[in-house]
Amino acid sequence: MVINITAFVLLHLTTILVFVLLLIISRMKKKQEIHFISIGLILSIFTWCLFMLLEVYAFQYFDYKGMCFTNTYFSAVGFVSVYIFLLGLSFSAGTSINRKYYLLFLFPILNVAAIWTNDLHHLFFVKYSLMNNEIIRGPLINFQAAIAYPLILTGIFLLLYFSIKNAGFFSKQSLLIAFATIIPVFVDVSFVFKLFSFSLYYEPISFSIAVGCMMLAILKYDFLNIVPIALQTIVDHISDSYLVVNDNFEIIDFNKTFVSNFGEIVDSKRKMSIWVWIEQIKAISEDNMDYFKNSYDKSSKEFVSSYFEKHIRKGEFDKVFAIEITPVITKNSFKGSIILLRDITEIRKSFELVKQTQAQLIEKEHLISLGQLIGGIAHNLKTPIMSISGGIEGLKDLITEYEESIVDPTVVAEDHLEIANEMRSWVEKMNEYCSYMSDIISTVKGQAVQLTSTTTDCFQLSELLKRIDILMNHELKRFGCKLNIVSLIEKSTIIRGEVNSLVQIIDNLITNSIESYEGEEGEIDLSISRDGPMILITVKDYGPGIPDDVKSRLFKELLTTKAKKGTGLGLYMSYSTIVGKFGGKMWLESEIGKGTSFFISIPVT
């Protein structure tokens, strides 16, 4: 046996390298199918290399010339092609491959049987030698090659194709796989077709180099953690567009949704500078896209995510996108960014529709409130107007009497003073009625202010109670309800906020309480007390109560228990106003058959 020293030394190094790779892959946690296939491939090559070495040592030190070691490593060789095919298939599939492909192992198993019985039929080797030009092959070895080559080439093609598709041709992963492909294919073809004369040792060495390159991709570039076809399939079905940008600010990947959204309006391709792409978008943006560029720059330098919205229009293309830039950081080093572009055009349209609907509902609620105000005005002004009208008639009579007394010699000074006093009495009464009417008009005028008013003011508790009494007096009498007002704090207490808004909220709660009696007479308690730094306002009725399934939704939705008579906006807006304008809280307690209590807690100035 002639030993090529160079090849023999390389075979030692190769065996050690493959063994180390086998240990590393075996110790990986959370192994998937692709990892187990890799272990099978490396184990086959390790067996190939190891038994070639044992064959040499057995011959050198024990003069062993049998075929035991030869048959073992040739048996292992048959499995290499199947494992390479399965590795490529698993990489491209991303998920578990179809079990039917494991039937391919029947070929290397039959090959093992043919190798170990070769002395009986010489169908595998007619003559064996370590030099390729001295081997005389049998028909079975040619049959094995006819199966192995398509499997190897298919597996390598799948690895290379999906690596290029996922990461680009010039990515480190793709270049490593391409390099790993060329060497073993060239050596194996040269060996089989005897293009060159070289030792058989170079064949496992070439496959080991290929596996080494693949494992470098695994360990250095997370090759096995990429599942291209599954990943691509998943992201292509995502409704949001995305861009992947590397640390050189080049676009390296995007999904079908991105192509569908932007393919016709801007030039988008891999290896394009993200700055060039942003400039294209800037040219067709409705607003200043410098924010896009600045946000990306900030994301890459400060390692922070950015979110903003942009309106992009070109021809018939008119969409609004929510853009999120997320940096990819590894060991405090910027590796690239993922740009997610979510089409929110329909959301924006829906939002505008909701705003229009809300405006209509608010207007309807205002009209209802206006109707209540007009009813209250009519009732509250009726008494003073009638009284003033009576006073005017009284004054007319006194004026007539006074005119007649001027020419009457029997009328003395005391009579004139008496007439003047009666006139003064009527004037004082009319002044009181006018003052009362002025209060009513001021209160009603204040309540005409929209809920959307941003006025911030301070008012006394007494002012609040006075306005509530004036505005709700008519409504309470009309339905035969009684309002019990109990204030456990000083009426001079100052409350910060807009008095008109709070009056409207409490009036709305009192109105709800009135309606809870469904036309029957009832009592409503309005109590004001102190709860630490907060004022607690409670409106309580003794009506039928509110069901549990309604209570949990009452402040969160435009929900009404009044059927077509209500919009549900009153409580919804009341809650929003208490939280937003007064910095307080609003909640309720209700028990079926016993009544409902609404609580408002707002801070004291």
Instruction: Tell me if 343 sits within 8 A of 240, measured CB to CB.
Output: yes
Answer whether residue 26 shows pLDDT above 90: no
**pLDDT for res 536:** 94
* Residues ≥6 apart with Cβ < 8 Å to 566: 560
* CA dist 260 → 60, 235, 322, 338 (Å): 68, 13, 17, 18
How do residues 183-192 score in pLDDT, each as one tens digit?
A: 776 776 676 6
Domain residue spans in the chain?
Answer: 5-228, 238-343, 349-448, 455-605
Answer whether residue 56 shows pLDDT above 60: yes
Task: Give the integer Cα–Cα distance in Å for 481 and 542.
Answer: 11
User: pLDDT category, 410, cuts 50, 70, 90?
Assistant: confident
Instruction: Tell me if 45 sits within 8 A of 211, measured CB to CB.
Output: yes
**pLDDT for res 471:** 77
CB count within 10 Å of CB 106 equals 10
Which tokens go with 192?
A: 């089989």
DSSP 152: H
**pLDDT for res 214:** 63
**pLDDT for res 103:** 92
pTM: 0.43
Mean pLDDT of 272-291: 75
Q: Which residue has the higher pLDDT, 468 or 170?
A: 468
Across the chain, mean pLDDT equals 77
Mean pLDDT of 532-536: 90
Answer whether residue 435 shows pLDDT above 60: yes
**pLDDT for res 177:** 63
How do residues 569-601 score in pLDDT, each as one tens digit?
A: 467 778 878 888 888 999 999 999 899 999 999
How do residues 318-328 score in pLDDT, each as one tens digit?
A: 888 888 888 88
How many percent of the chain have pLDDT more than 90? 10
Given the structure tokens 């004036």, which residue do they identify? 470
Task: Give the integer Cα–Cα distance in Å for 418 and 383.
Answer: 27
Which architecture does CATH list for 455-605?
Answer: 2-Layer Sandwich (3.30)
Element (H, E) at 537: strand 534-541
HSE at residue 547, side-chain half, CA atoms within 13 A, is 5
How do residues 340-358 score in pLDDT, each as one tens digit?
A: 888 888 887 877 776 676 5
Answer whether residue 77 shows pLDDT above 60: yes
Q: Which amino acid is at 87?
A: L
* CA dist 479 → 395, 474, 511 (Å): 37, 9, 10
Mean pLDDT of 540-568: 67
**Best mean pLDDT range from 17-26, 37-46, 292-301, 453-462:** 37-46
**pLDDT for res 181:** 63
Mean pLDDT of 519-548: 91
Q: Which residue has the higher pLDDT, 156 or 602?
A: 602
* CA dist 451 → 351, 370, 504, 569, 578 (Å): 20, 13, 9, 12, 11
Q: Which residue has the higher pLDDT, 300 or 444?
A: 300
Q: Which residue has the higher pLDDT, 584 or 223?
A: 584
Answer whether residue 78 shows pLDDT above 60: yes
CATH 3.30.450.20 fits 238-343, yes or no: yes
Mean pLDDT of 145-155: 85
The lowest-confidence range among 158-162, 174-178, 544-548 is 174-178
User: What CATH number does the domain located at 5-228 have?
Assistant: 1.20.1070.10
